[in-house]
Structure 1
């Protein structure tokens, strides 16, 4: 068994971090079918504004939006991620004052200058509350939408992502903090000596720079990442300030955090440079029996064919290899050159093997076949679980995915948050205005060189 993470007793007491992963109607695929749910919420800006208001009342660090560049789910049954997240979060920024705003953008089908400018703009619009979740894109439908016949292989996608993120960081740092003057009397607007081209020439990008807007109050947006493969972990260690991870056990989460932070420390970023934020789905009831009944009712509203196809996609096998009342089939291994789903494949298979679950029981345990951990219980039981993971050093916080939105989020804010606050591990008020303040992250100083991209080192 992996030992708990050793924490420095001289440091100030750690505080738990909570983000809301706003998955349209909720994490469970059938959430939109409940009587009080709006099937059109996935395209309703006000739905997301309401979620942000509830999360802000609960003193959450941020609201997080995933993204897809294609229809990547079984749209015949459930809502999809539809609205472009940075545009949506600009609307949310105008309606909120404190909560952070984290959007996903892929390095596979964008350009660094556009992404740097878009997120810097969101950071200015929100007063320093923006974050970028750096992802690569592995599905064939997205590749075809951008004129490609096939998805680039895993190593190629992550090499591009590393260089892409390096360029974005350099663009964000191409202005020094005091470059803007605005001196009306002397007619000096910008000290041009304090903004410089980045003059980047690499394997995938040639970008001159500088960016066309100055740094924000928090320096630049917070960098998040979500990869679980070896390449994904290296990308996180080099660039991420927080990672949205997936783990089904304390031991696996501790080990994952150790690996990420050991790699980050090895390149000079210091110990515990990366916050580890596992995904967590909550299904809450006044009693445990009520919570279990809610889970079962939600799962029973999902067609079994949908869940089997979703699980088969995670495992990278045809759905006809799965039998509801049998264990996962053997052999079952992710190919060495697997092009995606590393994280969910590993966590899902480990859970099924460890618990001896049939496919039917696994789908129920995962509340419909997703890959994140699901806890079902009363507010007290859920608070106990969160506190245990936090105090064991298995997580710095959680990327929360309530079963149904907005009522599952309201149940968490009204029932679980006060317990965590009474136990002294979660804030009762915001103590800063920026996302970096909420996450207890340092403000990056201007003109700090980003790590040399791995592609450049290899070429050298």
Structure 2
């Protein structure tokens, strides 16, 4: 019988593999432990995936975007396409979930459904999809469009896209393929179903030419703190990626998301809150604090300033006086990361910040609360978990030795307390996350009809 925490729950674990360093992390690629081409080195990903699997992580997560500038973070400048990468990792692992980011803004539902279902079969039921409504406005020019979709369109399109894809994943019922050599019946045509969707953004006939995996469908993840993002996550998300600066903010976010899910008729217990966290672990508290401080102070301000322009359609802030008040930007950012851009404008105005102060304030917003000795970090993670601030953590992974300190020194403490698992409970992502297998809605309808007919026969 696996030991569990005092709450009866166990912490879920994800590894976000950033290769040569993501936002706010422009220097980690200089570590001698990281290959300069780590973001396109499949052996590097496989090695860390195996390490995470040995530590009984639920999933590895690959972020993505499709627009870059010379000022983008190192990992963004040169990286593998998520599903191609994860398919390679799938054949070298057995239990860890494989989650990739794919946009609904610049993909069609049929194509997404087929690619994700293929990963789900290749991995024997370990696929997950991080749904994003692309914020980077420059992406439109890479897809032959004159301008990026506006905020409302992006999220409406995302919701319809997910619903269409889930419908396509039900094209075949689970018993659709008898594969009976004696009778010559390969498929039961009564178990194959067209979608015939006609909506605001998509018209999709179907059926999809691929069967369901042992977990039914890939797990749906979603990241977005805006109203549109929260509503989308509450409607379709099973895992919610986020960031919370304080335990109180984490609890409030989790409560809000579960309330939204319940209002949409969903079981709120089928929604897992999984923020990204970064840990700083050392032999003493002072050493860990100094490590974090050293990296923060060592940032190249010019690069931080350049990347600060991303929510504003990569606006060039170098044209302004750094010590003058934050500039008036009007509607700039409305077709990019609108919620983030609006918050930056509001905070700068409310606090009367200069441009320099604004850049510094928001670059420090993601300062980690998980800093200290292995025991201190374990204690803090358990505190947040048991308070309901999250159901699991997505660990920011770059330098391998830092990851090893977490897997070899923090996790044993949490494992001894029953907070994290000692062994996998299942061999699918849904099974390990404790999420139900979605029943094929055609099977559901057929069963309901058969029950009615059976009842009529019994009473006749």
Q: What TM-score range do you get, normalising by the shorter chain?
A: 0.7 to 0.9
Q: Distance in 2 between matches of 1:417 and 1:365?
A: 32
Gaps of 5+ in 1: 1-10, 451-460
**Residues 286-325 of structure 1 deviation map (CA, whole Å, 9 limit, x = unaligned):** 212222232233334431111222335457876359998x
1:159-238 equivalences in 2 (<5 Å): 159-238=156-235
**Residues 364-393 of structure 1 deviation map (CA, whole Å, 9 limit, x = unaligned):** 898x66747453222112111111111010
**Residues 82-138 of structure 1 deviation map (CA, whole Å, 9 limit, x = unaligned):** 210000001100111110000110001111011101010000000100000000112
Query: Which one has a larger percent helix, Structure 1 or Structure 2?
Result: 2
Q: Give the alignment's TM-score, normalised by structure 1.
A: 0.85
Secondary structure at the residue paired with 1:189?
Answer: coil
Residues 288 and 33 of structure 1, relative CA distance in 2, 3 Å threshold = same
Could you tell me whether the CA contact under 8 Å between 2:247 and 2:389 is conserved in 1?
Answer: yes
Offset at residue 219 of structure 1 (A): 0.2
1:385-396 equivalences in 2 (<5 Å): 385-396=380-391
- 2:402 matched residue in structure 1: 408
- 1:129 matched residue in structure 2: 126
Q: Distance in 1 between matches of 2:350 and 2:177?
A: 58
- 2:259 matched residue in structure 1: 262
Q: CA RMSD in A?
A: 3.3
Secondary structure at the residue paired with 1:180?
Answer: coil
- 1:341 matched residue in structure 2: 337
1:45-444 equivalences in 2 (<5 Å): 45-71=42-68, 74-75=71-72, 80=77, 82-314=79-311, 319=317, 338-341=334-337, 371=366, 373=368, 375-402=370-397, 404-444=398-438
Could you tell me whether the CA contact under 8 Å between 1:70 and 1:142 is conserved in 2?
Answer: yes
Higher mean Cα deviation, 163-172 or 334-343? 334-343
Secondary structure at the residue paired with 2:178?
Answer: strand
Gaps of 5+ in 2: 1-5, 445-460
Q: Distance in 1 between matches of 2:98 and 2:195?
A: 27
Offset at residue 233 of structure 1 (A): 1.1
Offset at residue 42 of structure 1 (A): 1.0
- 1:17 matched residue in structure 2: 12
The higher radius of gyration belongs to 2
Offset at residue 165 of structure 1 (A): 0.6
Q: Distance in 2 between matches of 1:97 and 1:160?
A: 34
Q: Give the alignment's TM-score, normalised by structure 2.
A: 0.85
Could you tell me whether the CA contact under 8 Å between 2:16 and 2:395 is conserved in 1?
Answer: yes
